[in-house]
Amino acid sequence: MKRNREDMEIVWQTPANPPERHDYIFRNGIRYVKPYYFEFISHAKVRWAGKTIVDLFADEFKGRNRDYYESAVKSGRIQVDGKTVSIYYRVQSSQKISHFLHRHEPPVMGLDVKILHKGEDVLTVCKPASVPVHPCGQYRKNTVVGILQAEHDLAPLFPIHRLDRLVSGLLILARSASQADIFRQQIESGMVQKQYIAKVVGEFPENEQVVNLRVNFNAKEGISTVEPESTLEKVNGKSACTKFIRIHTNGKYSIVSCHPITGRTHQIRVHLQSTGHPIANDPLYLTDNIDVNSRRAFTAHKTAVKSTQSKSNDGDVSGSEPVVEDFGIDPMCTNCPNLAPIGYDGSEEGLWLHCVRYSGPDWVYECPYPEWASL
């Protein structure tokens, strides 16, 4: 779809446009997405009805200020049912609302998505930390699914389990919707065993530890808390169980094998915190009163990783020459001239939590241990 805005030709992308190899820029060990024009589409909810188009965006989408939204409506970058409207236009329920935006995706660590197994029905990869599995929120091309499509021409793909964005390791993707349903049915019926490893603070107990604490995820705050299974008070959390087995320790840190029986949000992370041995670089669950030195060690680790990644970027981590070309600056964009969106500097690193094994009734898939698993 082409439009002419402010004397420049713009090609607007939609979700139907696949990611391509040249969409990515690698700088200092970080993978960026070249900013692109994108049409965000939504349909007016009942509670939006009666609001002016500017009030709607200012109230519901707070990432930009009111002045921007007024300019976007006047210039036609915000439309209703495919037409330019007045800033005083009142929205009706179910109307199609389009926001034509110069999209800047958050950067991720510039590591390759390594293919572990490529079969007719199943693909397994080693997911890098910091990369989301599939398009969500501000991420679309900077995702495992997007990168595999752009760099390996693999599509469609159907992830059959979740990995938090900051977690690395084994990711299983079905190559058809019917195969994905088979995997999901096995997971939901408890026929699949999962194993992760974590690097935690302190000397973890030698004997197997079983944590049975309900997990209550606060979506607004983005953090989970635990609650006892049996209590006289009202509980909000979901039942959760994780088994932990120490692999080895040097007294300061321990490498622990984690076996989640259930699959709650942040379950392993918050259950390890409850044992007094949180993941040693977890920004959410590593409290200052547990081990101040762990934060210092994490800072040193981040510096070492950046140095290594910068050296590796003498060649593109995906196997091609690094992209150095600039991108076009959009006069209305609130993120330009920066490559990343406001609030993202590319300094984020991954958790010391890694998925190593999934096994089902007649299948097993594994992923190698990461470097940090050696103490």
Cα–Cα distance between 236 and 285 in angstroms, integer?
A: 20
DSSP state of 279: B
Cα–Cα distance between 50 and 119 in angstroms, integer?
A: 52
Query: Three-class SS of residue 202?
Result: coil
Which tokens sit at 359? 């096994």
Query: Three-class SS of residue 66?
Result: helix
Do 256 and 246 meet the contact criterion of CB atoms below 8 Å apart?
yes
Is 291 assigned a catalytic role?
no
Cα–Cα distance between 27 and 25 in angstroms, integer?
A: 7
Query: Three-class SS of residue 154?
Result: coil
Do 317 and 135 meet the contact criterion of CB atoms below 8 Å apart?
no
Cα–Cα distance between 261 and 195 in angstroms, integer?
A: 10
Among residues 59, 81, 121, 164, the one annotated as catalytic is 164
Do 99 and 40 meet the contact criterion of CB atoms below 8 Å apart?
yes
The candidate with the shortest Cα–Cα distance to 293, out of 305, 304, 281, is 281
The candidate with the shortest Cα–Cα distance to 23, out of 343, 327, 316, is 327
Beta-bridge mates of residue 2: 11
The candidate with the shortest Cα–Cα distance to 236, out of 224, 250, 249, 248, is 224
Query: Three-class SS of residue 341?
Result: coil
Rama region for 315: left / alpha / beta (φ>0; ψ in -120 to 50; rest): beta
Cα–Cα distance between 165 and 143 in angstroms, integer?
A: 9
Strand 168-174 versus strand 353-359 pairing type: parallel
Rama region for 202: left / alpha / beta (φ>0; ψ in -120 to 50; rest): left
To which residue do tokens 């200012």 refer?
Answer: 58
* Catalytic sites, residue numbers: 164
